[in-house]
Amino acid sequence: MEVLMPEPQIYVERTLAIIKPDVIGKEEEIEDLILRSGFHIIQKRKLQLSPEQCSNFYAEQFGKIFFPNLTAYMSSGPIVAMVLARNCAVSYWKELLGPSNSLRARITHPHSLRALYGTDELRNGLHGSLSISSAEKEIRFIFPEAILEPVPTGQRARDYLNLYVKPTLLAGLTALCKEKPADPMIWLADWLIEHNPNKPKLRYRISQ
């Protein structure tokens, strides 16, 4: 008897976050802010990049006047790299970071992470991917073992929401209203796990 279980397909946007060498002492504080902002930390590692690795990571900045100082800064000590996941992860993380120049961030986005933890235009405390494509490339650079699933866009994304998310959520909320549990959030979370449309279904095939 052979048990066949289809592969679940879960699409979540991911981005790369880096806590830079000069603020690594604030790691726990920053992680707490990340989690409270709705992100999940999928992968995390502490490492120290060599100047050559930093040059490769920031290859698109090569030739700019600040490039030597940037590679020296990023290779000056350990960093903490994290893969963050949530809906629209790239844009939300960029918004949470604020402007790349920490001095400007303090004026225009005083509650942003770079305003809180950065020092100046170069030493801005944290890194974030600029786009979905750069996030995929940067995640593979830091986490070469990572498996990245494609993020649906346009009609594919609308089809996925209409087929799986909206009907399941509507059914769950309807059941919640009928049940009226003491702790609605925990009840709904358990219901959604139980009725996940991507939950593997066991199919049995009897071998002769």
Residues 130 and 164 in one domain: no
Q: What is the pLDDT of residue 147?
A: 60
Q: What is the pLDDT of residue 170?
A: 86
Answer whether residue 114 is part of any domain: yes
Answer whether residue 173 is part of any domain: yes
Residues 109 and 185 in one domain: no
CATH code at 94? 3.30.70.141
Residue whose entry in the numeric block shows the structure tokens 């100082």: 69
Answer whether residue 4 is part of any domain: no
Which of the residues are catalytic?
A: 127
Residues 102 and 183 in one domain: no
Adjacent-strand bridge partners of 100: none
**Structural domain span for residue 191:** 158-195
Answer whether residue 206 is part of any domain: no
- pLDDT tens digits, 137-181: 999 999 987 666 555 666 766 777 777 778 888 888 899 898 888
Identify which of 1-5, 31-35, 147-151 has the greatest average pLDDT.
Answer: 31-35
Domain total in the chain: 2
Answer whether residue 134 is part of any domain: yes
Residues 45 and 90 in one domain: yes
pTM: 0.67
